[in-house]
Structure 1
């Protein structure tokens, strides 16, 4: 008998569990904080999110909780999510239906970027160009992302072209149409931030791409055939061999 027969969206749950497990392997998690979510209905208001207090490396497909962004009693549930996860992700899924998958972390290099007086990410290479004209910097940190702060952050993602938020004095957040798209973006954001920070550390002038080349490269990333899907598929294959518990 399948002990998870009452759970829906099983393949999507497994994809999201892969993202949690691999984020932990990369050291991009932080204690039992940070959160990923995935919309399940067309309106985006019903979504999966990680359970409160669970380490990313221990997330499984079945441990993900399904909640409703329009349910005011969510935090009264016995399996209520972290209050900041509810404040941030609930607000985004309630107001931004295009944000199907939302990933928020305090990864080292991206958070260093968020801590600079100027947190913009110039297009200095192919990876940083992925975010050209697609990134917004939040310069008005108002404390932890409880409900009011979550609503304020969500308002900055109303333009579907914006896929990435550098949350000044906080961390970073990416959105995507799928788990694969969002995770690929999160991975490359951390790589891009590291490249930029290391370039700054040299103290030498940056070679910034011209606007037309940066925009062309960003579009090429968006239309690169099957790249994000292949990335997640390979991670899933590795975990199937080395850490198959994610899929349970």
Structure 2
């Protein structure tokens, strides 16, 4: 590899590290974290098999860009090393990055409202406002929870369940969001949890939901495409917020 290409690759990986570290810190800010569990990752190589992942049992609030592990999905010795990642993280993220090309970034967590929906017989988001309609016909729903995802087959099953979708409601579990960039995946996770909060609050009234018909729901969902650039703007401004309070995520 030429020197200038190597330098460009290094810069690309470092920017991924900074953005992913910011996503961890922001998950704390929005109260989506859970003890020292849950995992975010980002593919470095074109085939997705080399990827960044958070270290085992490190709280999201303390994760820095330099802390992220650089792993290869086909490295069979990964879990034997002293700094091995969390087993469930390795199973889910290694499998998804290796098998789902559009999952350049994968955010998996258990945010309270989305996870509450995932505990229902029907965890789907009904189009009752513009945020819930954003996800109309755009979410995979996985109702085949197989327990803690610490076995290779469960990781492969989760990867298959994604299909062509970028967002998955994981029954009895939580949510996973894939995206081309950290900013895009984070934006979907942000609106997914807001939409789930609206659903849970609407359900809590006990009154009938005012669900849009399919035509209006699809029209509303498609209209969100015009706002795709907002993801980058939102994420940059959130990073600026972090820079004012605790910029150590960049270290």
1:153 aligns with 2:158: yes
Alignment length, in residue pairs? 242
Q: Is the 8 A contact 1:139 1:168 kept in 2?
A: yes
Q: TM-score, normalised by structure 2?
A: 0.93
Q: After TM superposition, give the deviation of residue 220 of structure 1 in Å.
A: 2.2
Cα deviation 1:214-235 (Å, max 9, x = unaligned): 1122222234141100111001
1:134 to 131, 138, 150: 138
Q: d(CA) in 2 for partners of 1:212 and 1:42?
A: 37
SS of 1:23 mapped into structure 2: helix
1:63 aligns with 67
- 1:35-114 to structure 2, matched below 5 A, reads 35-114=39-118
Does the C-alpha gap of structure 1 residues 62 and 122 become closer, same or farther in structure 2, counting only changes over 3 Å?
Answer: same
- The answer to whether 1:222 aligns with 2:228 is no
What per-residue deviation string (whole Å, max 9, x for no partner) do you get for residues 95-133 of structure 1? 011111101111111110000011111111111111111
Q: CA deviation at 1:32?
A: 0.4
Indicate if the aligned counterparts of 2:22 and 2:239 stay in contact, CA closer than 8 A: yes
Check if 1:168 corresponds to 2:171. yes
Alignment check: 8 A CA contact 2:55 2:68 kept: yes
Following TM superposition, by how much is the alpha carbon of 1:77 offset from its aligned partner in structure 2, in angstroms?
2.2
- 8 Å CA contact 1:45–1:97 kept in 2: the answer is no
Question: Distance between the aligned counterparts of 1:153 and 1:47, measured in 2?
Answer: 18
Deviation at 1:151, TM superposition (A): 0.9
> Where does structure 1 differ by over 6 angstroms across 4 or more consecutive aligned residues?
none
SS in 1 for 2:216: helix
Mapped to 2, the partners of 1:95 and 1:225 lie a distance apart of 25
How far, CA to CA, are the matches of 1:195 and 1:225 in structure 2?
A: 22
CA offset at residue 18 of structure 1? 0.7
Q: Aligned equivalents of 1:56 and 1:118: distance in 2?
A: 30
Gap regions ≥5 residues in structure 2: 1-6
Q: Shift in Å at residue 239 of structure 1?
A: 0.8
Q: Which has the higher helix share?
A: 2
State TM-score, norm by structure 1. 0.94
Structure 1 segments unaligned to the other structure (5+ residues): none
Cα distance in structure 2, aligned partners of 1:145 and 1:15: 26
